[in-house]
Amino acid sequence: MSRGAAANNQLGRVNDRFQLLFRVFDRADQELPGCHGHVHHGLGHRGEAQAVGGFFQNELPYDAPNQAAWQHDGVLGWAGYKIADSVTTHELWGGGSYVYNNVDPTIHATRGFEVPVTPGVKLHSLLTVNLGAGTLDHVINDTGAPVSTDAVGVPSYVPSFP
């Protein structure tokens, strides 16, 4: 698969369920548009998700050129993991989203995880971490403390959401 800037999110359909594949800097890292998703494991490197027996993790793109290029609809950056607003059931157990915007270290991402607030969408054991450049303002939606270069490597945790 191409990792070029023009590529869109890729989703594989498996028995009416969706599996994560990859993304680039101008979209959400992982966006799941269907219901009934469960993510129990995955390892992402710069947006590539793979099942390796841990939890979902990703690094937001290093190469966003500037804040003007990395925002949408009044939101700074793109979430590393996004569940479509139309989804009514989804569950994630264990997730980490990491920021290292070395091309422009002043860049912010509003959140690492973005989900609709509905009783059937549940996320557990989430964290965000700054790896040395950039800022993540929240862990999930508008919940969770920011991570920035003020405390590199120190995670911000959200035990469960909602």
Instruction: Give the active site residue among 31, 48, 59, 114.
Output: 59
Measure the CA–CA gap between 72 and 162, rounded to whole angstroms.
24
Residues whose CB falls within 8 Å of the CB of residue 40, separated by 6 or more in sequence, listed in order? 55, 93, 94
* Token pair in block for residue 54: 């841990």
How many C-beta atoms surround the C-beta of residue 102 within 10 A? 13
* Token pair in block for residue 21: 């594949």
CA angle (101, 31, 38) in 5-degree steps: 115
One-letter amino acid for residue 96 of the chain: G
Please say if 59 is a catalytic residue.
yes
The catalytic site residues sit at: 59
